Amino acid sequence: MLYGIFFVIGGLALAALDQLLKICATTYLLPVGQAPLIPGLIELQYVLNDGMAFSMLSGRRWLLIGVTSLVLLAVIVVLIARPMPRLDRITWMLILGGGLGNLIDRVRTGVVVDYLNFQFMEFPVFNFADICVCTGVGLLILSLLLDMRREHRSGSATSVHENHTDADA
């Protein structure tokens, strides 16, 4: 339990970092709109988003707040109450930190501040919280695939062992 609380605190720290970056983006980008970070690759661009990923559910502030709050509460319970490997804890911590960072924006102002724009491809402008959530979900998928692979391999090994045992009898 104490170990899980450590990762909840880590999620809170990620949310705090996200909020700090959004304050900087608002302070420095709002007056100018955009500025190059790595010319031709990444620019900083001030954008307000009232939806979630790719502006889905745009204008549904209270639905997004409610669903996000429930999901984050479940993540906190999982982190604290469930034993799991460190990689899984990091995964849930990233999802918690990113989700909380964007939730704070939605509750406070009704919109999420985005500021990272990849110029070399067509992709929505996003923020640090989005990176945390996407990385966490990516790691979660990877963890699930690895678990399935381990189960398949151990199931195959058990099956081969059972076949040899049956042949010996």
Cβ proximity of 7 and 87 under 8 Å: no
Amino acid of residue 146: L
Cβ proximity of 4 and 75 under 8 Å: no
Sign of CA dihedral 114, 120, 123, 128: negative
What's the CA gap between 19 and 100, in Å, rounded? 10
Cβ proximity of 23 and 104 under 8 Å: no
What's the CA gap between 52 and 54, in Å, rounded? 6
- Which residues belong to the active site? 114, 130
What's the CA gap between 96 and 8, in Å, rounded? 8
